[in-house]
Each structure stands twice: as C-alpha cells, then as structure tokens.
Amino acid sequence: MNSNKRFSIRRFAVSTLIVIGLGLLPVFQTALYATGVTEDRESILLQPIIDQADTGAVIRLESGRYAGPVLISKALTLIGDDSVTIHNEQEQSAISIQAEGVKMEGFTIEHHGRQPAAAVQITGSNNEISELMIRTKGAGLLVRDAATSVIRNNTIEWAGASTASSSQKGNGIDLYNSHNSRIEGNQIEGVLDSIYLENSRNVTVNDNRFMQTRYGIHCMYIDGSSVTNNTGEGNMTGAMIMGVKNTVVSGNTFRKQSSNVHSQGILLYDVHQSKIRSNTVEGNRVGMNIAESTDNEIYDNGLIRNFVGIQMVLAEGNQFTKNRFVSNVIDASTMDSKDNILKENYWDSFQGLDLNQDGISELSYAINPFYEQLISRNAAYQLFFQSPGMVFLSDLHSEGKSNWTTDESPQMSIVNEHTDVSETSGNFGTDARNVESRSSTVTIIGLLLLGLSASTMIYMGVWRK
C-alpha cells in the first residue's frame, strides 16, 4: 500500500511539472524573442515595407525585430524607438542609402557583417542620421561622395570580440569626399578610429565623445573644416590631424592617451595655416606633437600632466602664444624646428624674474632639445620614457643653448583665457595642497619611526650592558 502511494505521489508530481512547463513555454518564447535570441523567420522583413512606401513617406516602425539588409533608393523618413531593432547577419551593409533626402531616427541596428561592411552606408547627399544605437562587428557609418550629410547624436559600439585586431575592426564614422557635412553629438567606443575624415571640405566635427579606440579623430587631407568641443579618453591618440589646411581645432579635451609609445593627445602632421586653440591635453604620453607643420596659430591650450607637453620636429614658422604648461615631466622638446615664435606662455617649471610687475618675465625660457635628439639617434631609448634619469640628464644638457627654441616673454602666472582650462588649473592648487598635506604626514611619520628606531637602539645598547 505504501509503495502504491509513493508511486501515485511521484506520478502526480511529474504530471504537475509537465503542466507547469507547458504553461510557461509561451513565456520563455516571448522572453527569447524580446532579448533577440530568435531566428530570421521570426523577424519582420523590412525591405517590402520600404518598397511599398511612396517617395517622401514617413514610416513609423512598430515594436519588433526587422531583418536586413535593406536598400533605400528614394527619399523617405524611417522612425523607430528603442523597442525597434534592425538586425543584419549578412556580409553586406545592414542599410544602404543611395537616395537623397533620407532621414533615419531613433532605433537600434545590430550589424554582424564583418569589415568592410557597415551598419549604414550612405552614397546619396542631403541625408540625416540621428539618435540611432549602432552595434557593429564591422564599420558603423560609411559616407561616400555624399555632400551635406548630417550625423547627429548616435551611439556606435563595437559588438565583436574584445580581442579583435585592428584589421578586423571598422571605423565608427568614416567620411570620404563628402563636403559640407556635420558630425555632432555622437558617442563612439571600441572601434578602430571613431571619426575618420578624408578628402573633404567644410566639415564640422563638434561635441562628439570617443573612448577606447585607435584614433579618436583621424583627419586626412581636409580643408576649411572645424574640429571643436570633442572629448577623447583612453584612445591611442586623441586627434590625428594630417595633411590639413585652413582648419580650426578648438575646445577639445583629450585625456589619458598613454597606452603606446606613439600615444599623444593631438598630432599635427603636415598641417598649415590652421588655428589650434583652447584645447586641453592632459595625462598623455605627449600632449601635442607637431611635425612638418608651418604657419599655424597655437594659442591658449592647456598642456597638463603629460610626459612631454609639446614635441616639435621640422615645425617651422608657427606661433605659440599664451599656452599653459602645468605639471608635465618635460615641458617641451624640439628638433630641426626654426623660426617659431613663442611668447607669453606659462611654464610652471620656470623660475622667471618680473622686475616691472607686468606679469611677464624679463628672463627668457629656452626649450632643451636633449630628449628629442636622444630618441632620434636611437628610438629604443623611449623604453626609459618615464625614468627619472632621463629628466636628470636633460637638466645637465646645455650644449648649443643659444640656438634653442626660446620663449622670450614667459608669463609669470596662468592667464585665464579659457574657462574650462582655468577650472582645471584651479584643481591643481587643490592637488598641490593635497600632495603637500600628504608629504607633511609622511614626514611626521618618518620622524616618528626614526625616533622609535633610535630609542630602540639606545635601549638595546643599555640592556646589553
């Protein structure tokens, strides 16, 4: 009897679990669908919706997953929200825009096609892409021969393996031969170069943020453009500005580009007749690297806590005015750079003399070329990059001092030309006070330990006697 009862109980329990399981099956299916674990046959085909729409139509996508790839060859507006996802598993761009007058806004694109395929490829002019969340295993947005594009307030993230090599990654926003375009307010992380511009004129790159990429902004052969108010952190280089003229680089902040011996906040290479103004470069290997560049105005920049503040090689005829060099290991280094005008810069390592109290030192500040000459002879010396011995040897070097690049009128204190930088500079006072406080504490503890050691030795000596 007891055996039969146990069997009945087991059978009842198994039956109950089966019923519960069948009841929960739709819930699990719904959860899988919501998290994107679904097959293509469960997705809505987007191309027929595009094809059936009239030119100029506004398509508001309902919640769900839509399958790409998609080709847009007529003017229309495609709007969604964060409940709308377009996914693409094929080795081509998720969305290709060949028409003019296309607008896309508000939804998510999951692109699993590999480089060089992109989440969005644009070959038509006068298009606007805004408020998209793009997760890509290839490139983000490719813009080709497409003038007057607007790319605004998008988030672009690398969705591939964290161990992927540079050759496997595409750029976040890649613009070629596309004039009069605007790239504003985007956040980009983990791709190859966040924003790559080539062979374009009158392009505005403003208020973007990029992290953990190779180059935050990479400019090649652009003219009459502006790179303003962008923020980069933890990239190999913040801004790589190359082959550029008549361009403004202003109000940008690049911090903690120091992971590579070639890391720098801003690189100017083959840059001419441009204005580099009111930028902050902090905590980089090199704050600003200027090579083979001429006739530029470098004004009101904050170079803070870098190993080398400014590095110049074959840079001629540039004007450096009212820049601030604060807490760098080496303020500046130069080699084969002549006819540069330096005036009214602030060098915190310089002890000036202001006899007439006008805020300008009567003593000049000469830039020691030792470090640059040393690594030019043997690049392997960069291994000693942060060695205290490097600074010590630099201080001993004085050969040819009459020919060194010189600031003839250094500022005696920081001139608050740029609000953000002055605020940062204000923090240095706090940092200095904190360091001083910590130093005093360490000194007191050291004296106490020294006294304790002396007392112990005296006591032990008396005890032995």
Q: Provide the residue-wise pLDDT of the chain in tens; the chain has 465 residues.
A: 455 545 455 554 445 444 444 444 443 343 333 333 334 458 899 999 999 999 999 999 999 999 999 999 999 999 999 999 999 999 999 999 999 999 999 999 999 998 889 999 999 999 999 999 999 999 999 999 999 999 999 999 999 998 999 889 999 999 999 999 999 999 999 999 999 999 999 999 999 999 999 999 999 999 999 999 999 999 999 999 999 999 999 999 999 988 787 899 999 999 999 999 999 999 999 999 999 999 999 999 999 999 899 999 999 999 999 999 999 988 998 888 889 999 999 999 888 887 888 889 989 888 876 665 555 555 555 555 555 665 555 555 555 565 678 888 999 888 765 544 334 333 433 333 343 444 444 445 545 654 554 454 444 454 444
Task: Please choose, from the candidates 160, 192, 159, the residue with its C-alpha nearest in 3D space to the C-alpha of residue 173.
Answer: 192
pLDDT, position 371: 60
> For the chain, how big is the Rg over CA atoms in Å?
30
Number of neighbouring beta carbons within 10 Å of residue 335 = 17
Is the preceding omega at residue 69 within 30 degrees of 0, hence cis?
A: yes
Task: Please choose, from the candidates 226, 207, 251, 248, the residue with its C-alpha nearest in 3D space to the C-alpha of residue 418.
Answer: 251
* Lookup: tokens for 219: 């400019």
pLDDT, position 386: 53
Report yes or no: 322 and 417 within 8 Å, Cβ to Cβ: yes
Burial pattern 138-158, b for ≥16 Cβ within 10 A else e, equals: bbbbbbeebbebebbebbbeb
In angstroms, the CA 301 to CA 288 distance is 10
314 three-state secondary structure: coil
In angstroms, the CA 109 to CA 84 distance is 9
**In the 8-state DSSP scheme, what is residue 37?**
-
Sequence-distant (≥ 6) Cβ neighbours of residue 122 within 8 angstroms: 97, 129, 141, 142, 143, 144, 146, 149
Could you tell me the pTM of the whole model?
0.77
Give the strand pairing for 308-313 and 286-291: parallel
Residue reference for tokens 């002890």: 351
pLDDT, position 422: 38
In angstroms, the CA 107 to CA 66 distance is 11
In angstroms, the CA 295 to CA 335 distance is 17
E-strand ranges in 89-246 read 95-97, 103-105, 108-111, 118-122, 128-130, 133-136, 139-144, 150-152, 155-158, 173-176, 182-184, 187-189, 193-201, 204-206, 209-211, 215-223, 226-228, 231-233, 237-245
Report yes or no: 293 and 269 within 8 Å, Cβ to Cβ: yes
Number of neighbouring beta carbons within 10 Å of residue 273 = 14
For residue 308, which amino acid is it? V
For residue 154, which amino acid is it? N
Task: Please choose, from the candidates 197, 201, 186, 192, the residue with its C-alpha nearest in 3D space to the C-alpha of residue 155.
Answer: 186
How many residues comprise the chain?
A: 465
